[in-house]
Amino acid sequence: ASPSPTVIIIGAGMSGILAAKTLHDSGIQDILILEANSKIGGRIHSVQFRGHTVELGANWVIGGGPRSNHLYEIAGKLNLKTYLSDYGNISANIYKQEGGLYPKQVVSAALEVAETRDQFCTSFSARLSASGHNHDDVSILVSQRLFKEVPTTPLDMVIDYFYNDYEDAEPPRVTSLKNTIPRYEFLDFGDQTYFLADSRGFESILIYIAKQFLSHKHEVIRDQRLKLNKVVREINYSKNGVQVKTEDGSMYQAKYVIVSVSVGVLQSDLIVFKPHLPVSSFILPFPLPLPFSFIKQVLLNLKQQWKTQAIYEFDMAVYTKIFLKFPSKFWPSGPETEFFLYAHEKRGYYPIWQHLETELPGSNILFVTVTDEEAKRIEQQPDIKIQEEIMDVLKKMFGNDIPEPEEILVPRWWSNRFFKGSFSNWPIGYSQRRHMQLKEPVGRIYFCGEHTYSRYLGYADAAYFAGIETANHLIKCLKHEKYCNGHDRHSTK
Ligand code: FAD
């Protein structure tokens, strides 16, 4: 890497790698990628668990719809093993809080209500969008209230969780209807979701992309322009360039920087921006008379407040898959048993379960998905305590005569300082204008990441397109200064 590249990219997840590739392909090869972790991938993170590859992060790719999905296509090209997730039979697989299955016809009736409610929410969202009033938005919960069927029983709640929280990782109470429904991910790419379970991992999709522009030996990227274990702590920017400092004391200079870290990381104090993106407006006891430079600084700070607000008002949700390896299988297997739900009076209490008998036969691995406050509560406990809670739930479902797990694997996305959550979610009250500001450059700092791409927000596809979009924006600026709207740009509400 040159001592002073044109662009530094912070983060080597899907969006950072795509941004770097887009720059490279356009002829801007003088780049440097700084990644905090010891490998690329970010929230695409495959690990070995008792001899099997499991995905701590992204797991499903979507395909079969009107628009082709790059990630799905790459998975096909690499012959990665993917399995169509069949949720069709959950009506036969929902367990009561105290044990025993709900009768199929009871669940079918509840599912029918949920489906009609979902359709109502979709058409209500379309009506809001058609109204043309930018501010007309409600939470998904409000639209459910308008439908007059708000889920309150454990059964209705777990079904509603399956429809909403399982996708958004936050409850309908906080999620924006207009910016979440319809779910364009499925509308564009198809409603077939494929669970990727391959020994090479989901990561191999990203490695495949990275290998197209970074030097490599087999599956290992070895390129001077990618530096791993580099935790960025400070970004200094001015109209002349940027200076990036890392935790190990290194310093890098460039003309521009692209920041691809999650919105959760942006909300934390891991990276300090100098000058700061101020948190609130100035209500200081001003010294009088005010020096001109001070007034200029205050005005500049006020101008830039839009950015901090756009960052802090967005939501970083938490979605956690907890894996358990058992000595033997005690759950039903065979066709249409893969997914099973646990209904509890506390919404989201170890609600969605999946066995891997089809994907990893004989592995005796189960995993349960938890989100939001429950995920945060759970990840603060030691593994042994989590295992105890899980075993209580499993005993309710399958009886006391079940074996203890041999191992438990609990990802802690929320407390991990390089992520601070799993993926973003659009909260009610957050305008589209604010979202534009979330990705808008500040001076020579450009932003990408899944949170900046609204159409597929949260998904790996969002990260894919966000990287390309931001890099193209910067390429335009590098070619013609008039497109550098980050320079001295100020948008105020
Ligand atoms: P990241 O992957 O977070 O990349 C940012 C990079 O920046 C990271 O590598 C990080 O280590 C690095 N970084 C952070 N701070 C610093 C710093 N200070 N200095 C240097 N580097 C830094 N999507 C799907 O499409 N399908 C799914 O099934 C799916 N399931 C998911 C399940 C879970 C549990 C999670 C966590 C995510 C899931 N996603 C899924 C979402 C998908 O993984 C993300 O949207 C996508 O990977 C985000 O990519 P990104 O490049 O925007 O961010």
User: CB-based contacts of 213: which residues, under 8 Å, 6+ apart?
Assistant: 20, 21, 24, 25
The CATH homologous superfamily of the domain defined by 7-42+206-314+426-483: FAD/NAD(P)-binding domain (3.50.50.60)
Dihedral, CA atoms, 83, 465, 238, 231, nearest 10 degrees?
10
Query: Atom 34, ligand 1: which residue's CA is nearest?
Result: 57
Distance CA 246, CA 266 (A): 16
Q: Which residue has the higher pLDDT, 270 or 302?
A: 270
pLDDT above 90: residue 492? no
Percent of the chain whose pLDDT exceeds 90:
86
Residue-by-residue DSSP string for 206-230: HHHHHHTTS-EETTEE--TTEE-S-
Determine the pLDDT at residue 397.
Answer: 98
Q: Is the pLDDT of residue 142 over 90?
A: yes
pLDDT at 152: 95
Instruction: Output the CA 44–ligand 1 centroid distance in Å.
Output: 6
Ligand 1 center to residue 459 CA distance, Å? 9
Q: Does residue 135 carry a pLDDT above 80?
A: no
pLDDT tens, residue by residue, 282-325: 444 455 566 777 676 666 666 668 899 999 999 999 999 999 99
Q: Is 319 in the pocket of ligand 1 (CB under 6 A)?
A: yes
Atom of ligand 1 nearest to the CA of 458: 45
Atom of ligand 1 nearest to the CA of 37: 11
Q: What is the pLDDT of residue 89?
A: 86
Q: 43 CA distance to ligand 1 centroid (A)? A: 3
CB of 270 within 6 A of ligand 1: the answer is: yes
Q: What is the pLDDT of residue 156?
A: 98
Hey, whose CA ends up nearest to atom 13 of ligand 1? 11
Count CB atoms within 10 A of the CB of residue 101. Answer: 16
Residue 287: its pLDDT value, please? 54
Which residues, at least 6 apart from 445, have a Cβ–Cβ distance to it below 8 Å? 235, 237, 242, 256, 257, 259, 273, 486
Cβ 16 under 6 angstroms from ligand 1: yes
Q: How far is the CA of 421 from the centre of ligand 1 (A)?
A: 9
Q: Hey, whose CA ends up nearest to atom 38 of ligand 1?
A: 58
Q: Is 260 in the pocket of ligand 1 (CB under 6 A)?
A: yes
Q: Grade residue 484 by pLDDT with cuts at 50, 70 and 90.
A: confident
Q: Is 452 in the pocket of ligand 1 (CB under 6 A)?
A: no
Provide the token pair at 428.
Answer: 């009610």
Is any ligand 1 atom within 6 A of the Cβ of residue 324? no
Q: Residue 311 phi/psi, 5° resolution?
A: -70, -50
The CA distances from residue 484 to 124, 284, 445, 448, 487, in Å, are 39, 33, 11, 16, 6
Whether the CB of 447 sits within 6 Å of ligand 1: no
Q: Say which residue the tokens 């990628």 belong to.
A: 33
- State the closest ligand 1 atom to the C-alpha of 413, by its place in the atom list counted from 1: 36
Residue 280 binned pLDDT confidence (cut-offs 50, 70, 90):
very low
Indicate if the pLDDT at residue 24 is higher than 90.
Answer: yes
- Predicted confidence (pLDDT) at residue 482 exceeds the cutoff of 60: yes
Q: How far is the CA of 57 from the centre of ligand 1 (A)?
A: 8
Question: Could you give the dihedral angle defined by the CA atoms of residues 166, 168, 172 and 175, in that order, rounded to the nearest 10 degrees?
Answer: 180
Pocket test of ligand 1: the residue of 10, 165, 250, 423 to mutate, having most ligand atoms within 8 Å of its CB, is 423
What pLDDT band is residue 136 in, cutting at 50, 70 and 90? Answer: confident
Per-residue pLDDT of 346-392, as tens digits, reads: 999 999 999 999 999 999 999 999 999 999 999 999 999 999 999 99
Q: Is the CB of 271 under 6 A from ligand 1?
A: yes
Once rounded to an integer, what is the mean pLDDT over residues 328-355? 97
Pocket flag, ligand 1, residue 35 (CB < 6 Å): yes
CB 34 within 8 A of CB 8: yes
Atom in ligand 1 nearest the alpha carbon of residue 462: 45
How high is the pLDDT of residue 299?
64
pLDDT digits (tens, 9 = 90+) for 187-214: 999 989 999 999 999 999 999 999 999 9
Tell me what pLDDT residue 330 has: 98
Q: Is the CB of 10 under 6 A from ligand 1?
A: yes
Q: Which of 251, 261, 372, 417 to mutate to test the pocket of ligand 1 (most atoms within 8 A of CB)?
A: 261
pLDDT at 309: 93
Cβ of 44 below 6 Å from ligand 1: yes
Which atom of ligand 1 lies nearest, measured to the CA of 463?
52
pLDDT at 410 over 70: yes
Confidence (pLDDT) at 134? 66
Using the predicted structure, report yes or no on whether residue 141 has a pLDDT greater than 60: yes
* Alpha carbon distance 449, 458 (integer Å): 9
Mean pLDDT of 56-60: 98
Neighbours of 60 (CB within 10 A): 19
Q: Please return the burial class of 303, using the count of CB atoms within 10 Å of its CB with bins 0-12, 13-18 and 19+.
A: middle
Question: Is a pLDDT exceeding 70 seen at residue 256?
Answer: yes
